[in-house]
Amino acid sequence: MRKRIVLWGTGVVGSMVLAEILRHPRFELVGVGVSNPAKVGKDAGDLCGAPKTGVLATNSVEELIAIRPDAVVHYGPTAAMADDNIAIIGAFLRAGIDVCSTAMTPWVWPGMDKLPALWRDPITDACAVGNASCFTTGIDPGFANDLFPMTLMGLCGEVQSVRASELLDYTDYEGDYEFEMGIGHPPEFTALLEHPDMLIMAWGATVPMIAAAAGIELDDITTTWEKWVTPDDRPSAKGVLEAGTVAAIRFTINGIYRGREVITLEHVNRIGLDAAPDWPAGTRDDVYRVDIVGSPSISQETSFRFTDGSARTPAVAGCLATGMRALNAVPAVNDLPAGWVTALDLPLIPGIGTIR
């Protein structure tokens, strides 16, 4: 049974998912929503490099609601544009349409203490009014920070600590990181995410989620932030990083339980694989890594690659995987009761229709 899908947002992630929907046997594209006025009226195929479809992009939420899709897959901006995300997603939910999104990373665990009520309550109310469900994977990507470590924890008799790490080279990455992470700025520049409360709220929701999954309540959540300054100019997809500026950052978000660090979310993001040589790296380039110390201890590395000859980078492959997690979750989200949906509410999502 095909699911009728409206896709909102045709940036890097949304345009790649759009192309996948058009050739997927279990999903039917019935509408495309865009915020960029220049894209209004364009054919969905033109927005993702595919043949024309007859489905034209619109910026009208009302038009898309009138189509009555089974779900909206939402690839809007980050929580920096929270008001826009809440307005658009809330409108679909109030109309009784389930939403699966990547945009609002704090929503991966809506019960997080640091999540502002004005970011939580409108969606809670919209779900109740429309009897609809809202699932957010996160863009960090959520599954690497929650689904992977929690799945591996289920193989252990005891877990003394669990660490989920993103270890990526951003040389060819064109996403946002300058203001958020301070890459490319002098070391005295204070990046947005360098503020502990902002870092925990923006990217730390998986830490209390893992704690809840393990049946514990954390005593505290702490952070660390480190910078590495390049001694030489470094090329990147966004231009040259000058010598004396930040070319790598490393941060952790740490769940503290009974006086010790038990859950750690770590990011190491570099411009150049030789940057910050003393910091963690994978056994391969550009990986997501889980390390569990316990009984047994487990290490797992996951890499995302394109093997189609397109030369798209591993970071972009990870973006596609993030987007597909939201799309492939639609049938399960449709079957769940109304309200917030987290990774703990979902069954196994094996990717129905992917083998063909």
Contact between 238 and 184 under an 8 Å Cβ cutoff? The reply is yes
Question: Looking at residue 80, what is its pLDDT?
Answer: 79
Question: Looking at residue 8, what is its pLDDT?
Answer: 98
Rounded to two decimals, what is the model's pTM? Answer: 0.94
Question: Looking at residue 140, what is its pLDDT?
Answer: 74
Structure-token pair, residue 77? 């901006």
Q: Which secondary-structure segment (H or E) carries 321? A: helix 314-328
Question: Looking at residue 321, what is its pLDDT?
Answer: 95
Structure-token pair, residue 199? 């870092």
Structure-token pair, residue 303? 């890499």
Q: Which residues of the chain have pLDDT under 70?
A: none
Contact between 246 and 256 under an 8 Å Cβ cutoff? The reply is no
pLDDT digit string (tens) for 278-323? 999 999 999 999 999 999 999 999 999 999 999 998 988 999 999 9
Alpha carbon separation from 65 to 6, 53, 70 (Å, rounded): 9, 20, 10
Tell me the domain boundaries of the chain.
3-137+329-341, 142-307
- How would you class 199 by CB atoms within 10 Å of its CB: exposed for 0-12, middle for 13-18, buried for 19 or more? buried
Query: What is the DSSP annotation of 61-106?
Result: HHHHHHT--SEEEE----GGGHHHHHHHHHHHHHTT-EEEESS-GG
The residues near 270 (Cβ < 8 Å, ≥ 6 apart) are 168, 169, 170, 171, 228, 247, 248, 276, 279
Question: Looking at residue 54, what is its pLDDT?
Answer: 98
Structure-token pair, residue 232? 């030489």
Whether the bond into 331 is cis, omega within 30 of 0: no
Q: Closest Cα partner for 173 from 286, 17, 34, 10?
A: 286
Question: Looking at residue 138, what is its pLDDT?
Answer: 83
Cα dihedral sign, 269-84-73-345: positive
Angstrom distance (rounded) from CA 12 to CA 308: 17
Q: Domain 3-137+329-341 is of which CATH architecture?
A: 3-Layer(aba) Sandwich (3.40)
Question: Looking at residue 142, what is its pLDDT?
Answer: 77
Angstrom distance (rounded) from CA 53 to CA 219: 53
Question: Looking at residue 21, what is its pLDDT?
Answer: 98
Q: Closest Cα partner for 14 from 316, 302, 304?
A: 316
Question: Looking at residue 119, what is its pLDDT?
Answer: 96
